[in-house]
Amino acid sequence: MDVTSSPSYDDHQKVVFVDDADTGLQAIIAIHNTNLGPAVGGCRMFPYASKADALEDVLRLSRGMTYKSALAGLPMGGRARLFCKSRFNT
């Protein structure tokens, strides 16, 4: 999957896809920006319909955390983690 073609991609520093067949874990971790400091953010578990939907969500969430930290005057960047409740094939 080409992350850079996503409408929500905003020069994210790192996007990692995790797919562990033994445990069934599927996850995406996105780090938007660490220019102000280490990335902070939350974790979401949701039954996404597709990998593209999950990617859009994690990119938006991580960018939002960058902006929240900056507006609050915190020396931190933004990241987000998604854990998918159901396996997606697309």
- Tens digits of residue pLDDT in 22-43: 888 899 999 999 999 999 999 9
Percent of the chain with pLDDT over 90: 73
Pairing status of strand 25-33 against strand 77-84: antiparallel
Q: Rounded CA gap, 52 and 75, in Å?
A: 31
CATH number belonging to the domain at 3-84, selected among 3.40.50.10860, 3.40.50.1360, 3.40.50.970, 3.30.565.10: 3.40.50.10860
CA torsion angle 89 47 84 43 (round to 10): 150
Q: Rounded CA gap, 61 and 79, in Å?
A: 7
Residue 86 confidence (pLDDT): 66
